[in-house]
C-alpha cells in the first residue's frame, strides 16, 4: 500500500552558512543545516505516513533519487564502509535509509572574495524535510543499532528547540518506536505547557513524550545521568529503551559524517578534476559531525582541512570530546592534527547581536540574488 502524507503548508526551513573564511587559491566548502521557524503547519494527514510532499517533489529530480526514495527509504541494509575506513573499529553492521541523499553542493557566488577563492555550500538542509540537517546522517546508524538491540523506545536529550530531538522523534515514529525527550528550558517555564512552536510542534504531532527540565538542573545533574535515570525507570516498567546522547554524538554517530565524506568524494570525482576542496567549514554544537568530517577527510582522498566554529563550550572541550570519539573507533590520530576548532560562542548559544543578524541577512540576500 502506498500512503501519501500531504501538507497544506509545511514548516519553513532556512539555512545559515558558517562564518566566512577567505583564503587565496582556496576552495572552501561550507556545511549548512536547517533552522525551524515558529511557523505552524496545518496537516491534512499524519506524519507517520510514508512520503511527505517534499519527498514526492524530490522524486521528480532524477531517476536515481526516485529509485532511492521509493524503494530504499526506511530500509535497513548491511553497511560496508569506505575502503579507507575499513581499519576503524568497530564498524557498524547496518544502516537505516532515513535521509534523502546525496545532498547537492551549490556554488556560493559571494561578492568581494579574494582572487582565486571559491566558496561552495554542502546543502545538508535538503536531507529530508522532517529530519533534515546533520542529525539524520547520525540517526541512520543509531536507529539501526537501536532496532538491532530490540529496543521498543528511544530516549534522547537536548534544548527546548533541539533539531536533534525533533529529528529523533520523527525517526522513531517512522520505525514504530516510542520516543522520550528530555528538553532543557528556563526555570520560569519548566512547569508550564511548552506550547506548539517550532520543533515542539513536530515532536508533539508525532506523539513524543516530552519532559522539561530547567537549565540549572541540567547543569547540576548532567545529560548522561538524566537519560540513565529515565532509562532505569522505563526498564522497571518492562520497556526496552535505547539512549541516544546529546546531538547523536557518540562514536557510532560519527559514522554518519565519515559516510558524508565518501559522498563528497564521489561528488568531487564527478567533476573530473574541475573542483578540489581545500577547506571544510562547519559549526560545532555537539562534536560528532566535526569528528566524522575531520577523520574522513584525513583518512580518505579529500584531504581538506576541517575548520569548526564552536557555538557552545570552548575549543579545548571539543578537542577532548572529538579525541574520545575517534579513540572509540581506534583511529590512532590526534584531534589537533585533523581539525581546527575556534570559539564562536559570542554572547551565548542561540543569542545573536544585531550586527550578526544584519550580516546573516545581507549574505543570505546576496546568495539568493546572485547564485
Q: Which of 18, 162, 249, 335 is catalytic?
A: 162
In the annotation, is 186 catalytic?
no
Tell me the CA distances in angstroms from 183 to 131, 180, 186, 304, 333, one per residue in order: 18, 10, 10, 36, 34
* Phi and psi at residue 117, to the nearest 5°: -120, 130
CA pair distance 360, 357, nearest whole angstrom: 5
Helix (H, G, I), strand (E, B) or coil at 34: strand
CA pair distance 80, 95, nearest whole angstrom: 9
> How does strand 105-108 pair with strand 94-96?
unpaired
What the block records as the C-alpha cell of 110 is: 559571494
DSSP E strands in the chain: the ranges are: 13-15, 26-32, 34-36, 76-78, 94-96, 105-108, 117-123, 153-159, 178-185, 209-214, 241-243, 279-284, 305-310, 339-343
User: Residue 239: in which H helix or E strand, if any?
Assistant: none
CA pair distance 169, 363, nearest whole angstrom: 32
332: left (phi over 0), alpha (psi -120 to 50) or beta: left
Here the contacts of 327-336 (C-beta below 8 Å, separation 24 or greater) are 328/250, 328/251, 328/254, 329/88, 329/89, 329/90, 329/251, 329/254, 329/295, 330/88, 330/89, 331/88, 331/295, 331/299, 333/295, 333/298, 335/291, 335/294
* Phi and psi at residue 161, to the nearest 5°: -115, 35
User: What's the sign of the alpha-carbon dihedral 322, 325, 328, 330?
Assistant: negative
CA pair distance 346, 324, nearest whole angstrom: 26
- Count other C-beta atoms under 10 Å from residue 70's C-beta: 13
Q: Please give the positions annotated as active site.
A: 162
Amino acid at each position: 500500500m502506498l500512503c501519501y502524507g500531504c501538507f497544506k503548508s509545511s514548516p519553513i526551513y532556512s539555512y545559515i552558512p558558517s562564518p566566512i573564511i577567505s583564503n587565496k587559491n582556496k576552495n572552501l566548502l561550507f556545511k549548512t543545516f536547517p533552522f525551524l521557524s515558529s511557523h505552524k503547519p496545518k496537516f491534512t494527514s499524519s506524519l507517520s505516513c510514508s512520503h511527505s510532499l517534499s519527498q514526492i517533489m524530490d522524486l521528480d529530480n532524477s531517476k536515481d533519487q526516485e529509485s532511492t526514495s521509493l524503494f530504499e527509504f526506511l530500509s535497513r541494509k548491511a553497511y560496508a564502509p569506505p575502503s579507507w575506513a575499513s581499519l576503524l573499529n568497530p564498524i557498524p553492521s547496518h544502516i537505516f535509509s532515513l535521509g534523502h541523499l546525496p545532498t547537492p553542493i551549490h556554488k556560493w557566488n559571494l561578492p568581494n572574495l579574494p582572487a582565486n577563492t571559491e566558496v561552495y555550500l554542502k546543502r545538508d538542509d535538503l536531507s529530508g524535510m522532517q529530519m533534515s540537517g546533520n542529525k539524520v546522517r547520525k540517526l541512520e546508524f543509531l536507529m539501526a543499532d537501536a532496532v538491532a538491540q530490540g529496543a521498543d523506545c528511544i530516549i534522547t536529550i537536548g534544548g527546548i528547540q533541539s533539531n536533534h530531538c525533533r529529528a529523533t522523534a520523527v525517526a522513531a515514529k517512522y520505525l514504530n518506536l516510542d520516543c522520550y525527550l528530555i528538553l532543557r528550558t528556563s526555570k520560569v517555564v519548566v512547569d508550564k505547557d511548552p506550547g506548539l512552536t517550532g520543533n515542539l510542534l513536530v515532536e508533539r504531532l508525532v506523539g513524543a513524550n516530552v519532559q522539561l527540565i530547567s537549565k540549572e538542573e541540567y547543569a547540576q545533574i548532567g545529560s548522561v545521568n538524566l537519560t540513565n535515570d529515565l532509562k532505569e525507570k522505563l526498564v522497571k516498567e518492562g520497556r526496552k529503551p535505547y539512549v541516544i546522547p546529546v546531538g547523536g554524538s557518540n562514536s557510532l554517530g560519527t559514522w554518519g559524517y565519515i559516510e558524508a565524506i565518501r559522498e563528497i568524494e564521489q561528488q568531487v570525482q564527478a567533476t573530473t578534476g574541475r573542483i578540489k576542496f581545500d577547506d571544510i567549514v562547519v559549526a560545532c554544537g555537539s562534536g560528532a559531525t566535526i569528528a566524522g568530517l575531520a577523520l574522513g577527510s584525513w583518512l580518505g582522498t579529500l584531504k581538506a582541512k576541517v575548520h569548526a566554529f564552536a557555538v557552545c563550550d570552548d575549543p579545548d572541550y571539543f578537542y577532548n570530546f572529538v579525541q574520545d570519539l575517534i579513540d572509540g573507533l581506534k583511529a590512532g590520530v590526534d584531534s589537533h592534527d585533523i581539525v581546527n576548532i575556534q570559539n564562536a560562542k559570542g554572547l551565548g548559544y542561540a543569542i545573536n547581536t544585531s550586527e550578526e543578524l544584519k550580516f546573516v541577512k545581507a549574505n543570505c540576500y546576496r546568495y539568493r540574488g546572485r547564485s
